[in-house]
Structure 1
Amino acid sequence: MSSQPPIHAVTGAFGYSGKYIAQRLLARGCAVRTLTNSPQRGNAFGEAITAYPFNFDRPDKLVEALRGVSVLYNTYWVRFNHRQFSHAQAVTNTLILFDVARRAGVERIVHVSITNPSAAPHLEYFAGKAELEQALIASGTSYAILRPAVLFGKEDVLINNIAWTLRRLPVFGVFGDGSYRIQPIYVDDLAELAVAQGAGRENVIVNAIGPETFTFRELVTTIGGIIGHERPVLSFPPRLAYWATRVVGLFVGDVFLTWEEVQGLMAGTLAVDAPPAGTTALTAWARQHADTLGRHYSSELARREDRRTAYRSN
């Protein structure tokens, strides 16, 4: 008599990074559940994944959704404050999630954080990530904390929208001198790392960075060259460049970038001195997708307002 496959739960399996984690788990023969705000969102999994609503306001329901789960992969977060969501609420909800996972008997939590979460305590994004790391460490549940800087892949926002801007504007402005570093990791490399960490029980914190390090100026120049839209990259006072992104945001009906993201980027929070955890080079991936990268704008708000349409590949 064959034993039942282990049950793993992934937050946001119908979204971006959670989708890649779920794909890898299914390929390993695991039973997969997802916790999601978008149970009706189109997806490629069909009946292979059972979807449960987050139910943060009904923790007992969340406990039942996680009952029998061995590993929880948490990608839940929000990029910025908005009238529909906030960092503070995301922190509160994640603390609820950690607690119900403990109550449900989940053996291990693989949690996606951010590089240098304590480096910018004055920034709500990083302060929230740091608070959640400490809460998970203190929870008594076995954990792996993954700290990516920026993700890239077919459904990504930042890298795609840099390319989108380069395709449409005659110049590209950077905040200050653009010398601050960034270490993007391929989303499926992050998923591979997450699933590998789900198999262990040792408490670990991993800097989940890719094999290439760029200054922000180099990143923009490199993407422009790969997609055939090299532009002059000009230095602007950070506030002025930020207000330019606000204008672009008004044009596309989205939050193109936040001032907090600008501050975090310029503070060097998206780079660490550590060996790479991913193997896929952004330059190689971008060359493979040069014809489509940046053809369409990726809207963060559109994804959150439309809970039915599957994420579009860039």
Structure 2
Amino acid sequence: MSIRTQVITVFGGSGFIGRHLIRRLAKSGAIVRIATRNPTKAAFLKTAGAVGQIVPFATDVTKDESVARALQGADVAINLIGVLFERGAQTFQAAHVDTPARIARLAAANGVGRLVHVSALGADAGSASSYARSKAAGEQAVLSAFPAATILRPSVVFGPEDGFFNKFGAMAQIAPALPLIGGGTTRFQPVYVGDVAEAITAALSLDSAKGRSFELGGPRAYSFKELLQLTMKEVHRSRCLVPVPWTVAETLGGVLEKVPVLAPALTRDQVELLKRDNVVSPTAAGFADLGITALSSCEVVVPTYLARFIVGGRNPTVPGGAH
């Protein structure tokens, strides 16, 4: 069955990856249900398809009956739900283990033909990071309930709405220095959100993707220091890069994660994640195994959206602009 004739339920479809994926699925002609807690916030995506093609669907992923309704009659299920920090009921266990397990179990029970679960590069049951351990546990729970599921593990995902380059671009506007946590030597392989969306759609049409895991990284790896330098270059700011020892970063994370209102700039668990490189294993299946060979680079894409942080815009002759 081609994607064009399918009903696809996307959990977490109004988020960063979801909004790029929904547009691609709509172009294929599929009927897309966006299973979300707040359908009003997903209403903007309805214009990505024909009338009635994209349907925000009120879903409480903590309840079996609600998830089952979202999956009823669906040919495909895609899970994009994930959190970067814990707060209240928003725990790694709930988001990364319990929810994927429920989706996989009910997808199997409702006769859904394909399931794609988006996890994270670095998922590891033996990690010191609760985030990484929960991601690994979620993968296992999905495969236990739905053995033919496809697992995708992206590295840091970048794009217009990302939480990485945008965060440091904003910091470079006002902060006199940027932190090099652990000395800035940790390596990342940032992957463009559009390429991740292409990988998801490719996985839906390849029988060879069933029951397999794929690591998704961009065309090259960078150190954390190199990524901050790239950010400063693109926002036309020169800031000191101050090495922050691991012990200091852990203390700082412990303070910032307790801020009750704002999303924390850093948590102790994120410090643990930063202690390990986040790059694709040379032996892992990846984009090429999904038929994708042309990948977008940070140097090409990041300047297109960090320009908003340049005072006066890109034109250096504008009064007050960067020189």
Bin for the TM-score computed over the shorter chain? 0.7 to 0.9
Scaled by the length of structure 2, the TM-score of the pair is: 0.82
Aligned-pair Cα RMSD in Å: 2.6
The offset of 1:251, in angstroms, is: 11
Match in the other structure for 2:290: none
Which of the residues 147, 154, 157 maps onto 2:153? 147
- What SS class does the counterpart of residue 194 from structure 2 fall into? helix
Which of the residues 303, 307, 310 maps onto 1:287? 303
In the aligned structure 1, how far is the partner of 2:170 from the partner of 2:301?
Answer: 16
TM superposition outliers: structure 1 runs of 4+ over 4 Å? 242-252
In the aligned structure 1, how far is the partner of 2:174 from the partner of 2:245?
Answer: 22
The offset of 1:105, in angstroms, is: 0.8
Match in the other structure for 1:195: 201
In the aligned structure 2, how far is the partner of 1:251 from the partner of 1:169?
Answer: 22
For these two proteins, the number of residue pairs brought into alignment is 292
Residue 44 of structure 1 aligns with an amino acid whose one-letter code is L
In structure 2, runs of 5+ residues without a counterpart are 288-293, 312-323
Scaled by the length of structure 1, the TM-score of the pair is: 0.85
Task: Kindly indicate whether the alpha-carbon contact (under 8 Å) linking 1:113 and 1:145 is maintained by their aligned counterparts in 2.
Answer: yes
Residue 55 of structure 2 aligns with an amino acid whose one-letter code is T
Match in the other structure for 1:40: 40
Q: Deviations over 1:185-233 (max 9, x none)?
A: 1111100110110112332211111112110011101111121112121
Task: Kindly indicate whether the alpha-carbon contact (under 8 Å) linking 1:211 and 1:276 is maintained by their aligned counterparts in 2.
Answer: no
> Please, which moves more after superposition, 111-120 or 189-198?
111-120
Task: Kindly indicate whether the alpha-carbon contact (under 8 Å) linking 1:163 and 1:294 is maintained by their aligned counterparts in 2.
Answer: no
* Greater RCO (Cα-Cα under 8 Å, separation 6 or more): 1
> Please, which moves more after superposition, 86-95 or 103-112?
86-95
In the aligned structure 1, how far is the partner of 2:187 from the partner of 2:125?
Answer: 14
Match in the other structure for 2:319: none
In the aligned structure 1, how far is the partner of 2:233 from the partner of 2:300?
Answer: 13
Residue 217 of structure 1 aligns with an amino acid whose one-letter code is K
Identity of aligned residues (%): 25
The offset of 1:247, in angstroms, is: 5.8
Match in the other structure for 1:211: 219
The aligned runs of 1:1-314 (5 Å cut-off) are: 5-41=5-41, 42-46=43-47, 47-90=52-95, 91-118=97-124, 120-201=126-207, 202-241=210-249, 253-268=262-277, 270-274=278-282, 277=287, 279-293=295-309
In the aligned structure 2, how far is the partner of 1:220 from the partner of 1:119?
Answer: 30
In structure 1, runs of 5+ residues without a counterpart are 296-314
Larger radius of gyration: 2
The offset of 1:294, in angstroms, is: 8.5
